[in-house]
A and B are shown apart, each in its own frame.
Chain A
Amino acid sequence: MSTTVQLPRWIDVGALPLLNLLLALVVSGLVVLAIGENPAEVVEILLYGAFGYEEAWGYTLYYTTNFIFTGLAFAVAFHCGLFNIGAEGQAYVGGLGVTLAALYLDFLPFPIMLVVGMLAAMIFGAAWAYIPAYLQARRGSHIVITTIMFNFIASSLMVYLLVNVLRPEGSMTPESEQIAENLRLPFIHDIAGALGIEMASSPLNLSFVYAILASVMVWLFIWHTRWGYAIRTVGANAVAATYAGIEPGRFIIIAMMISGALASFMALNEIMGVQHRLLIDFTAGYGFVGIAVALMGRNHPFGIFLAALLFGMLYQGGAELSFEIPTISNDMVVVIQGLVILFTGAMEHMFRPRVTKMYTAWRLRRDAQEAV
């Protein structure tokens, strides 16, 4: 095979993903054209809807919060070589944990509830991830299939619980009772208001701060701890890990439980922060989009933050879009999501050979000139 030069980092994690993203957006533009609208106008409305006014920022960051959590969830499992498609179900069951804690431990003072709510979400989410993890580690069942199955099982379980158990008496809608007011996560505009800063009200709440902290923690965990090292080793080569004295099964289970716990934090944002009650399908596909977020962000917390912001923008801007242009429904955003996942995730290698070839040619020519 001909000589190739290793691509520098800025191309590998910067230019290539951007190129793929660009392609996804171009194709999205073509879809917009095909249904008879003007792509430039769509972009303008999208951007204005996402960042054009103060309230929009709040909404954008609120959606971003969910994507950070589900993106991190996918990334941690992925570092261990696992495809966790189950963030959706894990977040759903995590929501059950938060709701139960908030409804049945409502005598707790708020600061304790903050911790208890988080722990409840973590335990439920991690437990839901534990079963597929155990089956993968000890019985060799494929994690992709089992986590998909567990999403559906979670969905049925939650519908059952909401309809038959958690629904308050006399209510027709399958929702749980409201969480007591003093146990809800404070909104950022309320916190800012208390500090004397005027802010437009939006659903952005304390969980955004959690999300940033979680990102830092994941970064420390994956690259600066013994377990993180073990997880990456198992992900890179499970057989080699065994020879290095790392038992793969153990770390598969650990990585999946952390992944499930991270996914469940989404429920903090949605249930303790915004909805204040358990709703059917409150996870609304955030778990699946987390896959795209993590892949686009190259499974690094900082990249995940940027990708989450992009998707947050698409969500919020997309909501604005469906107001402004009636023929474009929210489904346009779903299409863009799909295209972004397709081009940045599934076809991530499409440009790599060509770019590598071009870069190699350029390097060789430069080296030759320097030699003269």
Chain B
Amino acid sequence: MENFELVILLLDATLRTSTPLILAALAGMFSERSGTINLALEGMMLGGAFSAAAVAFYMDDPWIGLLAAIATTIGLSLLHGFACITHKGNQVVSGMAINILMSGLTALVGIALFAQGGKTPALDKAARFQPITLPGAEAVKDVPIIGPIYFELLSGHNILVYIAFLAVPAAWWVMYRTRFGLRLRAVGENPGAVDTAGIGVVAMRYRAVICSGVLVGMSGAYLSTAQGASFLQDMTAGKGYIALAAMVFGKWRPFPALAACLLFGFLDAAATRLQGVVLPVIGEVPVQLVQALPYVLTVILLAGFIGRAIPPKALGRPYVKER
């Protein structure tokens, strides 16, 4: 029974750690399926987290904070698009530039506004997303097995966690069941053909990076106004890159990407609990090994040892209409 509770707690933590990854991985997917590499997830997440916390602090409302985060990340997405789509700049360089820029800018503006060494002031309850108790959770709380699963694991998260999990089927539907999705994927595979059909490649790619901005903005807001209670300097700590890895690991597809995010989130949740714990047979597992595992697994996948990850064909190539 004790083990069961432990597992429930671990899975509960997994849901919380994988939420920002899911949103960011979906964001990356929208951008990359349309042919624009998005290494800027990390920087955008950071920008979103900062805007959300700063605005939520002033307005005392997490929803306005969320909107501010989304506005910021859409702005950054448009900047990325302006460099890569309009001016055919290098997508990798643009992404790295945004990451470096945001790492500095969030701290700089943070110091200028709040003078707390780059942090935003701690948000009180009203300015944060609060846990939601699902209907009937209290009632089934004491039922064995189902009780803990429903009450501990599924209920009691904030709204962004549920949004993230609902975003996966929604993204799938948009991507595979709508005209917009079909065109978006086509633009990432064969932009020439799409252009021939009379659909603007540039406009299509801009729409894709805007979708990307909306999603990654939510993941940033989650970090500072739902999971945490303030913005901290460089608080994303590589989560944008892990999300990128999860997207690649999920082969640029929504549901496999969700699975990868859950796996990487689980590793993250497990790493904090495994610190200094001696397991039977294996002995003490170095935390660093668990932390490096998402990256190692992604490299192994990319090397073609566990299935094949084939990126969109036109990924990274600016579209040149005519020479």
Contact = CB atoms under 8 A, between A and B. Distances in A.
Main SS class of interface, A: helix
A140 B84 CA distance: 24
A1 B304 contact: no
A83 interface: yes
Contacts of A142: 302, 311
A139 B303 contact: yes
B298 A331 contact: no
A329 B107 contact: yes
Interface stretch (B14-22, B93-101, B191-199, B218-226): B93-101
A346 B292 contact: no
Contacts, number: 153
Contacts of B101: 334-335, 337-339, 341-342
Q: How large is the interface on B (under 10, 10 to 19, 20 to 34, 35 or more residues)?
A: 35 or more
Contacts of B291: 156
A13 interface: no
Contacts of A327: 111-112, 115
Given A338-B102, A342-B83, A291 B286 contact: no
B93 A341 contact: yes
Highest count of chain B CB atoms <10 Å: which of A131, A152, A159, A291? A152
A331 B108 contact: yes
B295 A331 contact: no
Nearest to B247: A145
B48 interface: no
B88 interface: yes
Contacts of A145: 244-245, 248, 298, 302
B288 interface: yes
Contacts of B105: 31, 331, 335, 338
Interface string A114-139: 00000000000000000100010001
Contact of B88 (A139, A332, A342, A349): A349
Contacts of B94: 342, 345-347
Given A35-B108, A329-B107, A335-B104, A139 B304 contact: yes
B32 to A, nearest CB: 11
A152 B238 contact: yes
A348 interface: yes
Nearest to A352: B87
A14 B299 CA distance: 39
B289 interface: yes
B92 interface: yes
B89 A338 contact: no
Interface in A54-83: 83
Nearest to B93: A345
B322 interface: yes
Contacts of A291: 93, 96
B158 interface: no
Contacts of B87: 346-347, 349-350
A141 B299 contact: yes
A335 B288 CA distance: 30
A157 interface: yes
Contacts of B37: 144
Contacts of A295: 93
A150 interface: yes
Given A337-B100, A342-B98, A1 B323 contact: yes
The 6 closest A-B pairs by CB, nearest first: A338-B101, A334-B104, A346-B94, A156-B292, A141-B302, A335-B104
Given A141-B304, A347-B94, A349-B89, 17 more contacts: A31-B108, A36-B112, A149-B245, A150-B299, A153-B292, A156-B289, A157-B292, A288-B96, A288-B100, A291-B96, A329-B111, A332-B108, A338-B97, A345-B89, A346-B94, A347-B82, A347-B83
8 contacts: A35-B108, A35-B112, A159-B288, A329-B111, A334-B104, A336-B104, A341-B101, A346-B91
Interface of A: 1, 31, 35-36, 83, 85, 131, 135, 139-142, 144-146, 148-150, 152-153, 156-157, 159-160, 163-164, 285, 288-289, 291-292, 295, 327-329, 331-339, 341-342, 345-350
